[in-house]
Amino acid sequence: MATVVIQKREGKNGMSYSIRYAHPMTGEKKYFKTLRRYKDAQQEANDLRALLASGNVPRKRDIKLNPLTFSEVAAFLKEEWRMRHLRHELSSRTFEGYSIWLSNLTRTFGSKMLCQLTEEDITEYRDSQIEKNSVVSANKYLRVIKYVFNHGLKLRATLYNPVKDIRLLSEKAHERKRFLTPSELVRLVEAASQGRTKKYLPAIIYLGAEHGASKQEILSLKWSDIDFSFSERGLIHFYRTKNKRERTDFLMPRTKKALIEWHDHLKLKRKRVRITEVNSDHVFCHIDGSPIKCFNKTWRSVCDSIGIKDLHFHDLRHTFGSNLLMSGASLKDVKEMLGHSDISMTDRYTHLTINHKLLTQTKLAEYYANESLQ
């Protein structure tokens, strides 16, 4: 902890409180400032300790602080991003993504003065995001917070950066590998087939577990992307905005059945209330055609009902990839069927390739056995 002391002094005009500190590099005693109220001196001393702990020292007194809230700095930053987007220095996807993360952060830190946020505040927020979402999400928020503080330094909304030494976490070390076994998947679908979700949630689950579809791919799916009659099996087309990858799969039998049941249910409900036209072609939508935007609450409720803990919807993609390998597919097959742009993204499944090797060796043993009999 940095050495900061408050010295009480009595003068002609009453009490005053002088703040002094030890320079973190030289140990030299330095004067900081004097205040009339002890409470104000305590606050300044705490801020000074945070500044020194970050490896910085107070700036020269002619550099004045321009106190701004987090939301005010965020607004300036977003405008800079908007201009960079107009100059084609930021893609639409990057600009929209940054704006969403920034908006979420503003809801948490918006009213707080940027200069009063500490390293502890940021690390606590980062850790809460790990618990609520994932290390990947926590890193994205931390990156945007770093952008806000860097911009705040330009605006002199703060004189030090408490996040400069907070490192991004290793996403590889925290990579989720949770997946469902075939029997767990059956239990999950059975639970989803109860209550108000029974008509659409099974289809959503099967798309994730049998086709490796992400939440974005599922919620943006349209009926025009599905051909139930193609070669008896049916075809489905996915587009992943994250990496702009497209892929087309044959429909898995259970997925096809669940999608047809949902299609027929929508058709019947609309007929009953005499809806002849809808505004969209989205597969997962309300009866009037407006897209379903989120099903997080329903997902958690179904998982809790059968005692499955800590299962993210994205884990269904891991379920798809893991069970593909265990059924005999290669890593290259998994890469293509998950729509990964690089084989390194599929590396998390390498620990499961032993089953593929066993299948290959079994076929080799059968081959040797048949050849030796001839």
Shared domain for 193 and 249, answered yes or no, is: yes
Is pLDDT larger for residue 21 or for residue 331? 21
What does the pLDDT read at residue 84?
93
CATH number of the domain where residue 94 is located: 1.10.150
Number of domains within the chain: 3
What's the average model confidence in pLDDT over 306-318? Answer: 86
What's the average model confidence in pLDDT over 250-269? Answer: 95
Residue 164: inside a domain, yes or no?
no
Residue 171: inside a domain, yes or no?
no
Give per-residue pLDDT as tens, 316-352. 888 888 888 777 777 787 777 877 766 666 666 655 5
Shared domain for 201 and 317, answered yes or no, is: yes
Residue 107: inside a domain, yes or no?
yes
Shared domain for 49 and 150, answered yes or no, is: no
The whole domain housing 18 covers 4-53
Shared domain for 243 and 353, answered yes or no, is: yes
Residue 170: inside a domain, yes or no?
no
Look up the pTM and report it.
0.56
Residue 112: inside a domain, yes or no?
yes
Confidence of residue 238 (pLDDT cuts 50, 70, 90): very high
Residue 59: inside a domain, yes or no?
no
Shared domain for 232 and 352, answered yes or no, is: yes
Confidence of residue 102 (pLDDT cuts 50, 70, 90): very high
Shared domain for 212 and 353, answered yes or no, is: yes
Shared domain for 145 and 290, answered yes or no, is: no
Which pair of structure tokens corresponds to residue 128? 């809460």
Mean pLDDT value across the chain: 85
Shared domain for 189 and 301, answered yes or no, is: yes
Give per-residue pLDDT as tens, 143-196. 999 999 999 998 989 888 889 888 888 766 555 667 788 899 999 999 999 878
Shared domain for 12 and 83, answered yes or no, is: no
What does the pLDDT read at residue 347?
64
Residue 62: inside a domain, yes or no?
no
Shared domain for 81 and 130, answered yes or no, is: yes
Shared domain for 214 and 146, answered yes or no, is: no
Antiparallel, parallel or unpaired: β 29-35 and 4-11: unpaired
Shared domain for 149 and 284, answered yes or no, is: no
